[in-house]
Amino acid sequence: MNDERRKNHKLRALFDEAYRKVEHCYDTRPQQGLPVEWVVFRATRAAYPQLSTLDLFQFAMASSRVYRSRHTALPRNLAY
């Protein structure tokens, strides 16, 4: 039985590279109280214009989960 949840192989192929490009967004406080995920969405859209809106949303949510799992001692200021 295959329990693999990842269905978007295109996004999975570039996830690690894209995450390295936007990880700094989680370390800084966004201007004007914007959600960090929105900043990540915008930065990823600028770096990868070929991604659809759904791909960008999925990346922003997945990268938030990865960041939280790698930085468990930090306060949670993420929207999701």
Compute CA 7 distance to the chain's CA centroid, rounded to the nearest angstrom.
Answer: 17
Residue 51 · residue 11 · CB < 8 Å: yes
Residue 37 maps to a domain: yes
- Pair 29, 70: CB distance under 8 Å: no
In a domain, 2, yes or no: no
Answer yes or no: is 76 within a domain: no
pLDDT in tens, the chain (80 residues): 455 566 788 888 999 999 999 998 888 877 777 888 999 999 999 999 999 999 999 999 999 999 988 877 655 555 55
Residue 39 forms part of a structural domain: yes
- Does residue 78 sit within a domain? no
Q: Is residue 4 part of a domain?
A: no
Long-range contacts of 30-36 (CB under 8 A, 24+ apart): 35/78, 35/79, 36/64, 36/77, 36/78, 36/79
Domain that holds residue 24: 9-70
| Count of structural domains, the chain | 1
Q: Kindly report the pTM of this predicted structure.
A: 0.78
